[in-house]
Amino acid sequence: MSSLAPYAVDKRNSRGRRLTEPSPLGRSEFQRDRDRIVHSNAFRRLEYKTQVFVNHEGDLFRTRLTHSLEVAQIARSVARSLRLNEDLVEAIALAHDLGHTPFGHSGQDALNACMKDHGGFEHNLQSLRVVDVLEERYAAFDGLNLCFETREGILKHCSRANARHLGDLGERFLSDRRPSLEAQLCNLADEIAYNNHDVDDGLRSGLLSLDQLSEVAAFSRPLAEVRQHHPGLPERRLIHETVRRMISVLVNDLTETSRGKIRDVAPGSPDEARRAPGLIAFGAPVRREQLELKAFLREHLYRHYRVQRMAAKGKRTVRDLFEAFTSDPRLLPPQYQTKAAGDPFRATADYIAGMTDRFAIREHRRLFAVEEATI
Ligand code: MG
């Protein structure tokens, strides 16, 4: 690992695990974190959780699993160019969405509203809760006992109120410091991945058209390039070639802008990088185009009436489940009933947040459809 830059996280400057363990054989500490994440239940559930399109709407839409793999791929490419810790970046990227509820943002908004008087629900905090507490796999501890830097990267956002209870992990939200460069990178790789795959999925679903997207500079420029160099390309290939070029523009801009910022500040350690202003960033013109693209997607895709109908169903499903379980915890599966004895609201939120889209739909049917014979 000697090729890592002085500002990269590595074993020598890591704050380690909450519970000390013997060093792994034949792999780094952060490879071990990544492996624990890949073997977790929450990771496998990502296959049936979605962001914009619900899992049963089509086999080719992104799921949270394929999204997380795309984030990891993008983040690793940039990490390698900037001599950051690629293993750490991969672990953070694969874990960053573990705490997401079923039905994407609508599910999470509904659960947050349900939990308003009971401590709230934040999906980043839930991802941390999954790796710190909820996974029950190891004999010696709850959770996955990941390294500080992996947990720091997973906790992308956090309210000040919750940060106060998180010790060293919450500190940066109270003192306006940034996380490691690896964590900053995963945050932007996430943005690159979802903006571009939402364009691709939006076109595939027919909710967006090439004409509409031609209003957006980040799309229209590569589209014109591809049309010029490859006239008569079938539409699916045209879209893919355009989206791939959009991603390249962003990855190259992110790499070069960040390289320049790092060179200017020349941090000698990860802590110096944490104290500096954000060093992983897009250049201003690309940032402006990304904001334009986001605004376009909000207007034309996320607020599309067909997406809104599915979101409304997702919200209703989450609210119904929450209401049913909290008014009668005996409806919960036995292991959650035990937890509900302590805090029925948090136990219910944990149970619902862990559900995949299809499990939540089935569970709703089991609780509310009187004609169903199955329980
Ligand atoms: Mg994400």
Question: What's the average model confidence in pLDDT over 28-45?
Answer: 97
Residues 316 and 173 in one domain: no
Q: Report the separation in Å between the CA atom of 7 and the middle of ligand 1, taken as the mean of its atom positions.
A: 25
Residues 303 and 343 in one domain: no
Residues 223 and 334 in one domain: no
Does some domain include residue 6?
Answer: no
Residues 203 and 320 in one domain: no
At 216-249, the pLDDT tens digits run: 999 999 999 999 999 999 999 999 999 999 999 9
Domain end point (choices 307, 336, 358): 307
0.85 cut: is pTM over it?
yes
Q: Report the separation in Å between the CA atom of 183 and the middle of ligand 1, taken as the mean of its atom positions.
A: 13
Residues 294 and 342 in one domain: no
Residues 348 and 228 in one domain: no
What's the number of domains the chain is made of?
2
Residues 283 and 333 in one domain: no
Residues 315 and 299 in one domain: no
Residues 275 and 328 in one domain: no
Q: Report the separation in Å between the CA atom of 99 and the middle of ligand 1, taken as the mean of its atom positions.
A: 11
Domain end point (choices 284, 307, 330): 307
- Please tell me the distance from the alpha carbon of residue 355 to that of residue 101, in angstroms, as a whole number: 7
User: SS3 breakdown of the chain: % helix, strand, coil, rounded to 5?
Assistant: 65, 0, 30
At 144-173, the pLDDT tens digits run: 999 999 999 999 988 888 899 898 999 999
Does some domain include residue 249?
Answer: yes
Tokens of 39: 């073997």
Q: For tokens 């364009």, what's the residue?
A: 199
Instruction: Return the ∠ at Cα 229 (arms to 227 and 235), rounded to 5°.
Output: 35
Q: Report the separation in Å between the CA atom of 368 and the middle of ligand 1, taken as the mean of its atom positions.
A: 32
Residues 98 and 138 in one domain: yes
Query: 103 lies in which domain range?
Result: 29-307
Q: Report the separation in Å between the CA atom of 190 and the middle of ligand 1, taken as the mean of its atom positions.
A: 5
The per-residue pLDDT for 1 is 45
Q: Report the separation in Å between the CA atom of 367 and the middle of ligand 1, taken as the mean of its atom positions.
A: 31
Q: For tokens 């029925």, what's the residue?
A: 344
Q: Report the separation in Å between the CA atom of 94 and the middle of ligand 1, taken as the mean of its atom positions.
A: 9
CATH number of the domain that residue 71 is part of: 1.10.3210.10
Q: Report the separation in Å between the CA atom of 141 and the middle of ligand 1, taken as the mean of its atom positions.
A: 27
Q: Report the separation in Å between the CA atom of 71 and the middle of ligand 1, taken as the mean of its atom positions.
A: 7
Residues 250 and 335 in one domain: no
User: Bigger pLDDT: 61 or 279?
Assistant: 279
- Please tell me the distance from the alpha carbon of residue 308 to that of residue 209, in angstroms, as a whole number: 18
Residues 84 and 99 in one domain: yes
